[in-house]
Amino acid sequence: MKAAVLREIGKALAIEEVPTPEPGPGEVLIRTEACGVCHSDIHLADGDWDLLRPVTKVPLILGHEVAGTVARAGPGVTELAAGDRVGVPWIHWTCGECEFCKEGKEELCLKQKVTGCMVDGGFAEYLIAPATHAARLPASLSSVDAAPLLCAGLTVYKAMKASGVQEGQRLAIFGVGGLGHLAVQIARAKGVHVCAIDVADDKLEFAKSLGAEWTVNAANEQVHKRLRSLGGAHVAMVTSASPAAYETALRCLRRGGTMAVVGMANEPFKVSAVSMVSGEFRIVASAVGTREDLRELFALVEKYPIRCRIETRPLDSVQQAFEELKGGSVLGRIVLTC
């Protein structure tokens, strides 16, 4: 099969012919139809994250927003059969036995395996996944439309859920990229009022077209003053990887507000203890969502027209897609098709 292979961390991916994997007990072989390109893929390839670099296998096939069709089921599989449409998200497998799994927090599983990091992912014509963790895709979604929801959509859905934002409240979304533009749509579907913040006018116009009621260009306007004039944000969600965005987001909160940490900045951001205490602010960090979160998101997508803005590319152009993401020129998500 054809695959984009990372042979050495910090080096470019190479398009190669590699053996098609065989499904073992409890596994399915999935024919990849679409795989989203996430900033996390770039960070993993470049070795930017100290926590994940030691567990990143090399050589590696990246990609954790995978949508496709079951080609063959391994021994003992009863949940899925050949022809079923499925998706493979960031969480490849969890043990179901540790305290976090038993608490319904499988994203914190002590033994979890990560797609496109610890095991091979979807930048290939085929991949293997545990039948228990491959998600059935809604009939209303094409594989191309479904792929970005498996990470970008799921991540912001879970963060919104963790933040506790309610219908009728104000949500400030920092960064209208692959995650942020889906966050706008999910929030509006939930009846939440949205303010979108970015430094690019085209992204802000895009956010308006998706239902954002207010927009602020952070390069030209003092964001915290604008947000406070609206009464402050009940929740500020930062999808950007900028420490400055986090520091600004904290200043935009109303008293008792919450900042949701989503974008993984490589540098720390500053927090004033006096400000935190006086305003009784909360900071909530949110990792990727669980299988249950994904089912909830798919149910929401069935009711509302939540769709990612997508540019499709052939698998061969994955390295070019990386460069475009690094340059910040992508409005939405790039999805590779096989």
pLDDT, tens only, 219-245: 988 999 999 999 999 999 999 888 999
**Superfamily for domain range 153-285:** NAD(P)-binding Rossmann-like Domain (3.40.50.720)
Q: Give yes or no for residue 328 having a pLDDT over 90.
A: no
Q: pTM score, two decimals?
A: 0.95
**Superfamily for domain range 2-150+289-337:** Medium-chain alcohol dehydrogenases, catalytic domain (3.90.180.10)
Domain ranges of the chain: 2-150+289-337, 153-285
| pLDDT band at residue 217 under the 50/70/90 scheme | very high
Report, as an integer, the average pLDDT of 55-71.
98
User: Which has the minimum average pLDDT: 154-158, 210-214, 327-331?
Assistant: 327-331
Edge-to-edge, what's the strand order for the sheet holding 2-6? 14-17, 2-6, 60-61
| pLDDT band at residue 113 under the 50/70/90 scheme | very high
| pLDDT band at residue 122 under the 50/70/90 scheme | very high
